[in-house]
Amino acid sequence: MKRRAFTFLEALVTLALVAVAFGALMIMLLEAFRIARKSSDKTASAEAAELGLERMASEAREALVILEPAVGAANIINLRFHKINPDNSLTHRLPDTPPLPDPAGSWNPFMPAYLLEVHYTVVSESLVREVGPVGGTPSATMTLCDHIRGLKVARPRPAHLTLELSVQDGRTVLAHSTEVICHAVP
């Protein structure tokens, strides 16, 4: 009995079919890796927006005076307030003798030198935090998160804030919001 071997043509056809099968498998794997990477990028931007919103809310709770927005204002894209400078140990106590009220009847027990002015805004699709002395230029600027599509700040009552941060997540825009009560604001 004569044994028959594969011809060269049969071997080439088999090799071509195996190459096509491996090529299709590689395309599917690369697509799966691309989708997984894109998904993790989306999750990272959404988580960064949540952290940025939480930082903004946490710091707003420490506010002594809210400069922007005004009471009753809505859809403002800035949040600006004064808070105690935590680096200055003298700010943790009231003055020994309280100051007399000015003619308008209001006074601030903390000297402006011991306060910070904090400003949150969106610049070039990034949530930006600027901090500096009251009435001065910001001494520190920090980008908290990227892919931001909008910031809305409303102040329905004097000590209440509603913060909403919109973030681009792939093809969708997600809105994260929170309510803040600023206990030190009269």
Model confidence over 16-62: pLDDT tens digits? 999 999 999 999 999 988 887 776 666 777 888 889 999 999 999 98
CA–CA dist 119, 106 (Å, integer): 24
Mean pLDDT to the nearest integer, 153-175: 86
pLDDT bucket at 91, cuts 50 / 70 / 90: very low
pLDDT of residue 119: 93
What domain count does the chain have? 1
- Residue 67 belongs to what domain range? 14-90+110-186
Q: Tell me whether residue 9 is in a domain.
A: no
* Residue of 40 and 182 predicted with greater confidence: 182
Q: Tell me whether residue 7 is in a domain.
A: no
